[in-house]
Structure 1
Amino acid sequence: MPYQTIQDLPEALRTHLPVSAQEIFRRAYNGAWDSYVEGGGLRPANRSRQDVAHKAAWLEVRRKFLSKDGHLARRSSGQQSAPI
């Protein structure tokens, strides 16, 4: 189910992600949720809509942030994300 605000995100995300990463996660999750309709669309048949949206959201966070000394830091414009 889509998240209306970052306060709707699971507590673990709100605790461990900076606010800007929470917003990126929320927007990416909601976008993927809308794109991958149950029973159709581009979603793999063996994955739930929630699983696909969750994975897409984390991929977007990883694309914009890197883990440094146990904390997330926004990537500089020239830094590449880790391969998947």
Structure 2
Amino acid sequence: MPYIDNSDLPASVLASLPDHAQDIYRQAFNHAFDAHKDDPRQEEVSHRIAWAAVKRSYVKIGGHWVAR
């Protein structure tokens, strides 16, 4: 299901990503969710795409995500 607000994101995303990265994740997930509506793995694919979008702008150093 699409996420209306960042507070609706999974707890693991909220706990690990900074605010801007959460925005990227939410927007990428929602776009992918809509684009893959006929795929039986729609939610799984959307989460993978969202993480890939975050990784283009952020890198995990130690236990923290920081902007590239």
Query: Percent identity at matched positions?
Result: 37
Of structures 1 and 2, the one with the larger relative CO (CA 8 A, separation 6+) is 2
RMSD: 1.2
Structure 2 residue 35 is the aligned partner of structure 1 residue 35: yes
Q: How many residue pairs were aligned?
A: 68
Larger radius of gyration: 1
Amino acid at match of 1:37: K
Unaligned runs of 5+ in 1: 40-46, 76-84
- 2:17 is aligned to 17
What's the TM-score, normalizing by structure 2? 0.92
What's the TM-score, normalizing by structure 1? 0.75
Question: Would you identify which runs of 4 or more consecutive aligned residues in structure 1 move more than 3 Å?
Answer: none
Deviation at 1:24, TM superposition (A): 0.4
- 1:61 is aligned to 54
- 1:8 is aligned to 8
